A and B are shown apart, each in its own frame.
Chain A
Amino acid sequence: MNLTTILLFIISKLNGERTVNAPLHLLRGKKSGQTLQDVDYFNVKPFFGIFPKLEESTYVKAIDELLDTGLIVQNGKFVYLTELGKQKVKELPAFHFKGWDYRGREMIFFGRIALLVQTLSYMRFGETSFMPIQRDRDIQLFVKRLVEGQPITDPIFAKSIGDELKKALPLSGMSDVQKYIFAYRLTGKNETAKTWDQLAVELKSSTEALRLLFIESLHRLLPVIEKSSHLPYLKKMAIDIKVHSYLTDSAKQTKRLFDEGYSMESIAAIRKLKLSTIEDHFIEMAMSDKSFPLTHFVSQESIDAVLTKSREMGTKRLKLLKNEFEALSYFELRLILTTYKEVDT
């Protein structure tokens, strides 16, 4: 797995209906209306925000590689797969990302583990003073509270955490390389972690590929821990990591006002935001809430007509559908397509 194969997969999902930069926004986890909506339309939630610091130059290099090897072609602003590309996608191994559920917060989880392991590694030798490998204050305070009242100087306590890790990693189904990366991003007394550059040299890979493997391994590990009843400490480390509300903070405020009975126009006025922004919030709400009252906004007849046409034309592109339904606004079209995302074209 590397950035190129992930991109190939995402482009196959986007079905030639999005621009060349859409996957970049998706991987970075951009919280704009368009990206959030694409995530849902094209069923690429697992890849949302798995590479928050992806640099444009790295991205362009990966795209060029796909173009050069003839797996994708660019037509105007849009990109799609060639026959060769379609063949290649079928051969790709399965990806196990859960970007939509964790949104980068898996790194907070790992930061907590790293600091706990370091703390116990020193404590079991009776050393109470060390430079914390995690500089994030929230993580430091979390771990501090967690170990308060625990027998942290007792080697048996340290070992029990180690045992949980040794149990959980194989259960998650992650590969041997992923287990290796996980173990070598941990620091302890006389056992410092390795940087991404060092791991890349050692494993003869790129830092991007290793980061992606690492993120995927955490996305595999977390659900195992959340479900298990035999991993008590790891479970505590995973508290509040999975995203509960899929709405952005701003959309949450809009939803509260909507629930109080305000119209979209009034909400825009109250919040001093553009109507188009409020519309984005409603799209987000429609995405995350199965009981979203779609018929408050469009008639059942319009819904049926749009869905039939979309299937017939084999597209989810708004511009093409808008030509067919002059009377409907873009917002209404987006709402329909979002709510009935399972319609496959």
Chain B
Amino acid sequence: MDLKEILLDRFGYDNFRPGQEEVIRQVLSGRDTIAILPTGMGKSLCYQLPGSIMEGSVLIVSPLVSLMEDQAMRMRKNGEKRVVALNSFLPYTERQRILGQLHTFKFIFISPEMLSQNSFAYHLNRLSLSLVVVDEAHCISQWGFDFRPDYLRIGDFLKQMNCPPILALTATADDKVLKDIQQYLRMDKPVVFRHSLDRPNISYSILEVNSAFEKTAWIIERVTHTVGPGIIYASSRKRADELAIALQMEGVAVQSYHAGKEQDDRAIIQEQFLNGELDWICATNAFGMGVHKDDIRQVIHEHIPATVAAYVQEVGRAGRDGLPAAATLLYMPADEQTTSFIIQSDTPGEAEIRHYSKLIAEGLPPGEAAELARLTETGKRVIDYYKEHYSLDKIVHHLKGLSYEKQKLLQQMTHLVKGGECIRQTALSYFGEVCRSKPAQCCSNCGLSIEWLTEAPTRKITNEKVSWDERITNLLG
């Protein structure tokens, strides 16, 4: 089959991007496939093209409603109208209407929590599915930094289906995560396709400082003397706010972004950043997924991320346009403990699990019980899922193992930070990859210059005040 002809004919591209064609061929041959492709490598074509050739519909499980809507919108915009996004936010009648005509859609996006609804399973079972796609598949693994317990339901769901081939897509997965994806999705000897995670245009620097005060001073110096746009990842909401204020005092166009801000303001900040009205964002790890900005020049971490995978994912938001970008991580000796503490509070301990389960047994509503037992939102969801499947002792045992493993992952990250070896090589080695060639600007341990970065940012501050009615004219004519 001439895939290139189809590519040009239906999608208007002359050539595949690296990796796409191989994945598409595997999918078309009916094999279960796991594809690890860096963000921005055109993951969606890997199911769009096969889907457009194969008989039947493609079901795509996606973790975030906004991500799903965004993806569906892009497909519609490119001329594929047989797309629908189903999630629990749709009003009941709308959902019923869509379910009634499900067979008319070629691409069905769905959020994982919908899979456990019987009405949906009923409609899906009458449908002929050519392919099931699990996007951001690393969310299924508890080792992943984005673990979503709802993803575990995909496996339960697939059990009832008559096994169409599965395509799992993700940007990052080490061996442990890979094993989880394979196991929980009940994949049959999947072909694993791994595109190199290396991003030659990103240079890595790691710097040790002695205090939070020094970090702030360094960041101010850096941001006021080098190019943006950039993201600064902080360990807490409070710290993100603090840094943003310190930078604002220096006249930098910057805002903080975290889950503590109201939804409207978060959307506004994201829009300002995309639009170039802001040069920098000080964020917690809540910022990033679904943000499409190609020209991010710098990512600065002022804390130690919990895993190398999370680090690579966050750093990977820089330089999507292929031009040089710089990743810098600042740390001080106490940071390892700080991160370790955050990890521990996210994983429920034995006392909390038993307390929670006792309160439930006494008839307390789950939300209240979780609060009393001091469980985090994620912690509660994890336990709720396991309670359906396992005994209490097993859950406790399992989560103890999980907590231990998470500490081990943090040790990997600390080793990356303190080891003094080539950062690129070390990071890639955790994903089973060998770094074949190092770029000239590799990392601070191999030696690098950041001259290209040092270019005093020029921002014309427009202090023109526009009156309210002029602004409405600007908006609507």
Contact = CB atoms under 8 A, between A and B. Distances in A.
Q: Does B bind A?
A: yes
Interface of A: 53, 111, 114, 117, 120-121, 124, 128-129, 131-138, 141, 155, 158-159, 161-162, 165-166, 169, 176, 179-180, 182-188, 190-198, 201
A179 B65 CA distance: 33
B461 interface: no
Nearest to A163: B476
A180 B270 CA distance: 22
5 contacts: A132-B267, A180-B467, A196-B265, A197-B255, A198-B255
B196 to A, nearest CB: 30
A120 B265 contact: no
Contacts of A162: 472-473, 475-477
B52 to A, nearest CB: 21
Contacts of B270: 131
**Residue of B74, B77, B264 most packed against chain A (CB within 10 A):** B264
A267 to B, nearest CB: 22
A192 B271 contact: yes
A131 B476 contact: no
A178 to B, nearest CB: 9
B293 to A, nearest CB: 11
Contacts of B268: 133, 187, 192-195
B267 A137 contact: no
B267 A135 contact: yes
A132 B248 CA distance: 27
Interface stretch (B87-95, B100-108, B431-439): B87-95
Most interface-central of A114, A169, A183 (chain B CB within 10 A): A183
B468 A158 contact: no
A277 B272 CA distance: 48
Given A137-B90, A138-B91, A197-B255, A188 B474 contact: yes
Contacts of B477: 124, 155, 158-159, 162
Nearest to A124: B477
Pick from B74, B269, B472 the residue with the most CB of A within 10 Å. B472
A126 to B, nearest CB: 13
A129 B77 contact: yes
B95 to A, nearest CB: 11
B176 to A, nearest CB: 33
Nearest to B469: A166
Nearest to B65: A137
A182 B468 contact: yes
A155 B77 CA distance: 21
Contact of A192 (B66, B248, B261, B277): B277
B239 to A, nearest CB: 16
Give the dominant DSSP class at B's interface. Answer: helix
B471 A191 contact: yes
Contact of B474 (A111, A141, A191): A191
B262 A158 contact: no
B271 A187 contact: yes
B465 to A, nearest CB: 9
B79 to A, nearest CB: 13
B468 A183 contact: yes
A134 B267 contact: yes
B117 interface: no
B80 to A, nearest CB: 14
Nearest to B70: A131
Contact of A195 (B87, B90, B265, B474): B265
A183 B465 CA distance: 12
A133 B477 CA distance: 20
A197 B269 CA distance: 11
A134 B266 CA distance: 10
B118 interface: no
Contacts of B248: 201
Q: Which 3 A-B pairs have the closest CB atoms?
A: A162-B476, A137-B89, A183-B468
A188 B468 CA distance: 14
A66 to B, nearest CB: 26
A135 B476 contact: no
B262 A53 contact: yes
Contacts of B94: 141
Given A138-B91, A179-B468, A133 B475 contact: no
B121 interface: no
B192 interface: no
B73 A129 contact: yes
B395 interface: no
A117 B475 contact: yes
A191 B466 CA distance: 11
Contacts of B70: 131
Contact of A141 (B91, B267, B472): B91
Interface in B214-268: 248, 255, 261-265, 267-268
A183 B472 contact: yes
B267 A133 contact: yes
A136 B471 CA distance: 25
B275 interface: yes
A190 B65 CA distance: 25
B274 interface: yes
Contact of A121 (B90, B274, B475): B475
